[in-house]
Structure 1
Amino acid sequence: MAGETGLFLYGLVPADVEATPDADGVGEPPGEVTVVRHGDLGALVSEVPLDTPLGRSADLRAYQELLDGTAVVAPVLPVRFGTVVTGPDAVLDLLRPHHDRFAAALAELEGTVQYVVQGRFEEPALLRAILDENPAAARLAEQVRGRTEAASREPRIRLGELISQAVELRREAENRRLLDTTAEYVVSTQLRPPNHEMDAAHVALLVDSNKEDALVDVLEEYAQDRRGLLRMRLLGPLAPYDFVDAHQLAG
């Protein structure tokens, strides 16, 4: 397949969306981003060599930057990263039979963007709070203090279990608190699984674009209120990765 090319598929957009001249696609050198259209739909694509593996951090960054930049100005349905088809006819084979469903999904996303809120517990403060509130855990902590791991194996295991349970309960409470705080500004929400044992909250928010500034202000206040216990991070605006049925848009 040396020398053969295909089309990398980024996402679906309304047919009137144009690719900006300075948009960079994946690959080295970056491919030119164009739009394949059918009816009310367009597909953002760029040409890629079929014999070149894609998956560098630069490729993922180009994919995300294109979709996130598009989401600021128009609704977009992200397609799973790495989806490559043989050419424009293959893109049309995707668009034609699903035209009305994709168009309806884009209409629902009109005027929205995604934000992701991450909160991570400050471990020393969290452990102090758990020991203060849980006498059993405090007793176990006293038993293992100053002893070798081998000599205190059983109480260490039990202490770890109690701390893990306490963290899980606090994580559930923190996610509920965060969702309650942001409910006024969002269209939909998705809880993300923790990716670290000290994760306190990990939530994707589909936000009304007219309420973005208010949401950011509320989250800044939230972070200030939780300062010392949590470290907060806000990502966005992003394409609605968490609010698209990814398997239906995969190649």
Structure 2
Amino acid sequence: MAVYVYGITAAEPPPALDGAHGVGDPPRPLRTVAGGSLDAVVSDAPEELRAGRRDVRAHQDVLDRLSDHGGVLPLRFGTLAPDDEAVRRTLQERAPGYRERLAALDGCAEYHLRASHRPEKPTAAEEGARRDSLAAEVTAALGPLARESRSSDPTGEDVLNVSFLVAQDEQPAFLDREARLAVEHGASAFRFRLHGPLPPYSFV
């Protein structure tokens, strides 16, 4: 039977999953699959899986619990494997890389920042110049407070789309600096939208 995979952890002992439940209707029970020094948290995959609020929330709740227990490699919603043995084999084969990323993500959360420019519609040249200028300023201001950052191409009306991996002790300073940037650029009609803390999906 196909299994749904939520995340990977090296926590010792493996996290207690009492009271938590997985995706599906009715919700599938959670279990761990051990592969060497790593564990994957999985459940049986439902026959039909849709990215509805209930299942997305269940996925997020499992990852929150794992994060509270220790470091976790969060997998994207909808990640499936053929069976438990396939999960176990993958954990064993990729253990060095997984453990390296777990160490890098330990104690960190992702913050995802988007920015758009309003109200007037700039020309293509103006938009490119604004995007480059804003990206440089945001990176210079927030980058030193993050362990890593990942930029993606903006979509729609956005001119900035970047994720930051921020250690727990740096998060208050990061949030304060982002808030000041948002206020400063609000006067020039930039609108900032920050989401987080999130599981570090962009850095797995």
Q: Percent identity?
A: 29
Please list, as runs of the form range in 1=range in 2, the aligned pairs for 1:97-246 lying within 5 A after superposition: 97-124=93-120, 127=121, 163-196=123-156, 198-228=157-187, 229-244=189-204
Q: Is the 8 A contact 2:11 2:69 kept in 1?
A: no
TM-score normalised to structure 1 length: 0.73
Give per-residue Cα distances to partners, 1:25-53, cap 9 Å, x unaligned: 1111121222222332110111224xx12
SS in 2 for 1:120: strand
Does the C-alpha gap of structure 1 residues 171 and 68 become closer, same or farther in structure 2, counting only changes over 3 Å?
farther
One-letter amino acid of the structure 2 residue matched with residue 191 of structure 1: S
Query: What is the aligned partner in structure 1 of residue 66 from structure 2?
Result: 70
Partners in 2 of 1:11 and 1:123 — Cα distance? Answer: 41
Partners in 2 of 1:114 and 1:45 — Cα distance? Answer: 23
Partners in 2 of 1:120 and 1:237 — Cα distance? Answer: 21
Q: Is the 8 A contact 2:6 2:75 kept in 1?
A: yes
Q: Which has the larger share of helix?
A: 1
Among residues 37, 41, 62, which one is paired with 1:40 in the alignment?
Answer: 37
TM-score normalised to structure 2 length: 0.88
Query: What is the aligned partner in structure 1 of residue 19 from structure 2?
Result: 22
SS in 2 for 1:205: strand
Partners in 2 of 1:238 and 1:74 — Cα distance? Answer: 15
Q: Is the 8 A contact 1:117 1:202 kept in 2?
A: yes
One-letter amino acid of the structure 2 residue matched with residue 27 of structure 1: G
Q: Name stretches of at least 5 consecutive residues in structure 1 with no aligned partner.
A: 131-162, 245-251
Query: What is the aligned partner in structure 2 of residue 89 from structure 1?
Result: 85
Q: Is the 8 A contact 2:117 2:159 kept in 1?
A: yes
> How much has 1:22 moved relative to structure 2?
3.2
Does the C-alpha gap of structure 1 residues 54 and 91 become closer, same or farther in structure 2, counting only changes over 3 Å?
same
Q: Alignment RMSD, CA only?
A: 2.0
One-letter amino acid of the structure 1 residue matched with residue 3 of structure 2: L
Report which of the two structures shows the higher radius of gyration computed on alpha carbons: 1
SS in 2 for 1:96: helix
| Count of paired positions | 201
Partners in 2 of 1:82 and 1:91 — Cα distance? Answer: 15
Q: Is the 8 A contact 2:165 2:200 kept in 1?
A: yes
Q: Name stretches of at least 5 consecutive residues in structure 2 with no aligned partner.
A: none
Q: Is the 8 A contact 1:119 1:200 kept in 2?
A: yes
> How much has 1:69 moved relative to structure 2?
5.0
Give per-residue Cα distances to partners, 1:173-225, cap 9 Å, x unaligned: 111111111122101111121121x2132110011211011111111111111
Does the C-alpha gap of structure 1 residues 209 and 55 become closer, same or farther in structure 2, counting only changes over 3 Å?
same
> How much has 1:106 moved relative to structure 2?
0.8
